[in-house]
Structure 1
């Protein structure tokens, strides 16, 4: 397997950052988990693969449903938290687009926002199809584009400060990218050999304190965090000032931000 520049950047981005993610964006990403598991028809006895398990939220919820869960991630610090969150699951290191499983091993495969973090999405989907049994179901989430206002808050603060993408944070290669819309996502699944792909949009308001929402980027979590770490302390402080200003319309009387978010939930079968 040839690792893309985007894959290498993702490995660097998430190295050792599980705790920072758990304290910032993990609760946001947990919101679609019940719908994700429902879409994959996960229940008692389902042989499930949770790919890109992160801190193990999906794996833990699937175990509570009685599923036989295998959870994989590329980042050791994530695996350590996942093993604590889902002690009944088999938690293993693995990196898309190559998984250490035989063809047709699983009844269902789920990935919560994992497709946002792979350098070759189509090849990743082909591999997920391979490990599904015939008739098995795949369910995935990705962030919707364009992002709702609350979802775009941190990005708007970065733009207001005039930051640009540095060379060491490469985007997904043009030939590997896809349109982050329902039609674009279902077309990608179809191209990977999956059948009857459908997609729905999930919308919700995420609530967090301003400091909690800032803590992830401040610790280098995700692209926005890596972009901040590449700046001088003075520039980071400027971004925070813009963030505080732009956050004002989202502040409720209780001091929490109310941030509209949207994700795409897609399902298909082998």
Structure 2
């Protein structure tokens, strides 16, 4: 299946940025991992596919539970980190919605925030259903809309500075998008033919220093980082100034930020 302009943009956004992601936003995304693996009923002997493994956080946690782990990511530098994190796992480069596996090859498939980064979410979910055995579980997390206050901190600063989205960062095509709500996510899974679909909202506070939180986008990590880097110097400076101002709302006496976050976790049976 041919890649969309959104997919092409995602490949550019993440190219070579595995290290910067691992040092910044990876710790945030790790909060959802235990619940994600519980939802997919991952335990000893389970043949698990971790899609969008990033630096291998989910893969490592699944291996520690005794699962037989296969992990894929579209970005080669992420796969390198995952291989180092879980040498016993089969880690390889692969891009949704075209996975190099046979029908029903896995007992469970998980994706931690991977649907936020694919240009064809419906085809992606259908592919996940294809590679999981009948009766196996698919479990996925996404960031919801509207976002939790901590998640929207950087976005608020970008908006306050009047930053404009450049043409090389296209939005997801309207016909491919879906509501980033519990209903939207469960409908997406059900439309792929998955059964027993359910969704819950995870809540947690992410504790991090302000400069560490800024380091991710400053290094160009993810869409927000690329958006910031594409702005003229004066706008970038304004974004940082607003970030510093808004960060004070979340600062504790020890200097760390307490950032409320939320994620949607859906699971369904093939």
TM-score scaled by structure 1?
A: 0.99
The reply on whether 1:32 has 2:32 as its aligned counterpart is yes
Partner Cα distance (1:41, 1:226) in 2: 36
Q: Is the 8 A contact 2:50 2:59 kept in 1?
A: yes
Q: Which residue of 1 aligns with 2:124?
A: 124
The reply on whether 1:18 has 2:26 as its aligned counterpart is no
Q: Is the 8 A contact 2:164 2:231 kept in 1?
A: no
Q: Which residue of 1 aligns with 2:141?
A: 141
**1:37-82 alpha-carbon deviations (Å, 9 max, x no partner):** 0000000000000000000000000000000000000101101111
Q: Which residue of 2 aligns with 1:107?
A: 107
Q: Shift of the alpha carbon at 1:86?
A: 1.1
Q: Shift of the alpha carbon at 1:184?
A: 0.7
Task: Describe how 1:1-270 pairs up with structure 2 within 5 A.
Answer: 1-270=1-270
- Alpha-carbon RMSD across the aligned residues, in angstroms, is 0.6
- Structure 1 segments of 4+ aligned residues over 3 angstroms from their partners: none
Partner Cα distance (1:17, 1:256) in 2: 25
**1:89-118 alpha-carbon deviations (Å, 9 max, x no partner):** 110110000000000000000000000000
Q: Shift of the alpha carbon at 1:233?
A: 2.2
Q: Shift of the alpha carbon at 1:196?
A: 1.2
Number of matched residues? 270
Q: Shift of the alpha carbon at 1:232?
A: 2.0
Partner Cα distance (2:170, 2:197) in 1: 30
Structure 1: segments with no counterpart, 5+ residues: none
SS at match of 2:101: coil
Q: Shift of the alpha carbon at 1:23?
A: 1.0
Partner Cα distance (1:191, 1:36) in 2: 21
